[in-house]
Amino acid sequence: MTTVAHRHPATRAVHVTVSAPTRSSAVSLPIYQTSNFSFDDPDALAEALQVPDSDYVYSRYANPTVRTLENTVADLEGGVAAVATASGTGACNAALLATLRSGDHVIAQSCVYGGTYASLGNLSERFGIDVTYIPGDDPGQVAAAVRPNTRLLYLETIANPVTQVVDLPAFLAAGKRSGLVTVVDNTFATPLLCRPLEHGADIVLHSATKYLGGHSDVTGGVLVFADYELYRTVWEYTTELGSSPDPFAAWLTVRGIQTLPLRIRRHCANAEFLAERLAAHPAVSAVHWPGLADHPDHDAARRHLDGYGGVLAFELAAGREAGHLFTKRVQLARLAVSLGGVETTLLHPASSTHRQLDDAALAAAGIADGMIRVSVGIEEPDDLWSDFVQALPAG
């Protein structure tokens, strides 16, 4: 038998020995940037292809860096397991496609994210899955919308962009009484402000692109499960769907999560600072932020959230043109489609993130033509307000 030392350099260059410490461990998460894992035992390889928490075999199925992300978010949410995906939309579609079949019926909040609205519309058009949208201000709307073929209830903790906060325990209990799978998008709240599994959710969804990553440098999603069998069903589907994230993206997200407790406090504090001043400005006709006492869901937010979030929306009295001019005048805040980074970003939802909605759907979602959504960053709040003041109409 040829020993390692006597093998050709070309062979030794391919078969690099990975050195790992035996009496110490890495402080920072290593990036396992590998697609493949080798085995000495063929039976172990076969088992790893079928069991989600077995040995690593192929990074589409599982990867140590990705698994660390999944375990971290599952732990924060109080779930039994998690599945990471390559984007938040990938997580949404994985949850829907793995749990629904042709002919099923879905109940969803009318003010869900535009991408979710588009995904549900695609399911309806291509697979005959009906969708009923409910206002989300009365849990009795769930029972009223249930049909014999209703399978799933879809909610958002803090809705994008109108910041609606449903009475989560009541809505989830209504879904459970009807035997529905309940999915909650917790992106805006993060596990630091709300843990929907504690209120009875089956699946919690995150666009990790937003607050979990937190630095506008990664795209990803995570699904967290209350039940292992449901987790396994979705894991098996996602491996075939091919929605797995890259290990480097998972590593960036874990790095971001480590500063989430510090960042989310600053996001919330800065949002409160801006919301109060916008509400008092003569050019502003409405401010949507659940921390304000006159927000229609303030009581629900106070009872079910550990903070009111870093996203707000406001409407200018002069309408869409004034909003358009505002987005051109801001200098510190960035006009950008995504959110949850350390920098403040803003946009016009009706023409961007919710462009898929027609006028009736926009009205049902509470998205005014002149609404501006703001993801408040961690900058010095006085600098943010100065930027807003110079961009706002005189009133």
295 token code pair: 């927000």
Confidence grade of residue 118 (pLDDT, cut at 50, 70, 90): very high
Amino acid 24: pLDDT: 81
What architecture (CATH level 2) is domain 42-257? 3-Layer(aba) Sandwich (3.40)
Mean pLDDT to the nearest integer, 149-163: 96
From 44-53, 96-105, 306-315, 360-369, the region with the lowest mean pLDDT: 360-369
pLDDT > 90 in the chain, percent: 79
Residue scoring higher pLDDT (25 or 378): 378
Q: At what angle do helices 88-99 and 114-127 cross, to 10 degrees?
A: 30
Q: Where are the domains of the chain?
A: 42-257, 260-391
In tens, the pLDDT along 268-293 reads: 999 999 999 999 999 999 999 999 99
Amino acid 148: pLDDT: 98
In tens, the pLDDT along 23-45 reads: 788 888 999 999 999 999 999 99
Amino acid 2: pLDDT: 55
Mean pLDDT to the nearest integer, 95-101: 97
Please name which of 374, 51, 375, 82 lies closest in space to residue 236, comparing C-alpha atoms.
51
17 token code pair: 């020995």
Q: Quote the CA–CA distance of 340 and 320 in Å, as a whole number.
A: 24
Amino acid 344: pLDDT: 97
From 95-99, 180-184, 236-240, the region with the lowest mean pLDDT: 236-240
Mean pLDDT to the nearest integer, 108-112: 94
Confidence grade of residue 51 (pLDDT, cut at 50, 70, 90): confident
Cβ neighbours of residue 116 closer than 8 Å, sequence gap 6 or more:
92, 108, 154, 185
Helix (H, G, I), strand (E, B) or coil at 155: strand
Q: Quote the CA–CA distance of 21 and 16 in Å, as a whole number.
A: 16
In tens, the pLDDT along 164-175 reads: 999 999 999 999
Amino acid 279: pLDDT: 97
389 token code pair: 């003041």
**Which residue is it, tokens 């698994």?**
67
Confidence grade of residue 183 (pLDDT, cut at 50, 70, 90): very high
Amino acid 15: pLDDT: 76
pLDDT at 306 over 90: yes
Amino acid 367: pLDDT: 75
Q: Report yes or no: 73 and 82 within 8 Å, Cβ to Cβ.
A: yes
In tens, the pLDDT along 3-14 reads: 666 787 677 666
Confidence grade of residue 323 (pLDDT, cut at 50, 70, 90): confident
Q: Quote the CA–CA distance of 357 and 250 in Å, as a whole number.
A: 32
Residue type at position 25: S
Confidence grade of residue 120 (pLDDT, cut at 50, 70, 90): very high
Amino acid 213: pLDDT: 97
Confidence grade of residue 352 (pLDDT, cut at 50, 70, 90): low
Edge-to-edge order in the sheet of strand 130-134:
81-85, 221-225, 203-207, 181-185, 150-156, 105-109, 130-134
Amino acid 244: pLDDT: 94
pLDDT at 94 over 90: yes
269 token code pair: 């504090």
Amino acid 23: pLDDT: 78
Mean pLDDT to the nearest integer, 243-259: 95
Whether domain 260-391 has CATH 2.70.98.10: the reply is no
- Torsion, Cα 266 136 80 254, to 10 degrees, reads -30
User: 173-177 — which CB contacts under 8 Å span 24+ positions?
Assistant: 173/139, 173/200, 174/139, 174/140, 174/142, 174/143, 175/107, 175/142, 175/200, 176/200, 177/143
User: 324-330 — which CB contacts under 8 Å span 24+ positions?
Assistant: 324/348, 325/391, 325/393, 326/372, 326/391, 326/392, 326/393, 327/372, 329/390, 329/391, 330/387, 330/388, 330/391
Mean of the per-residue pLDDT values of the chain: 92
pLDDT at 255 over 90: yes
Please name which of 41, 77, 86, 79 lies closest in space to residue 59, comparing C-alpha atoms.
86
Mean pLDDT to the nearest integer, 108-131: 94
Residue type at position 271: A
Q: Quote the CA–CA distance of 62 and 54 in Å, as a whole number.
A: 9
Which residues on neighbouring strands pair with residue 313, listed in sequence order? 288, 373
Amino acid 318: pLDDT: 85
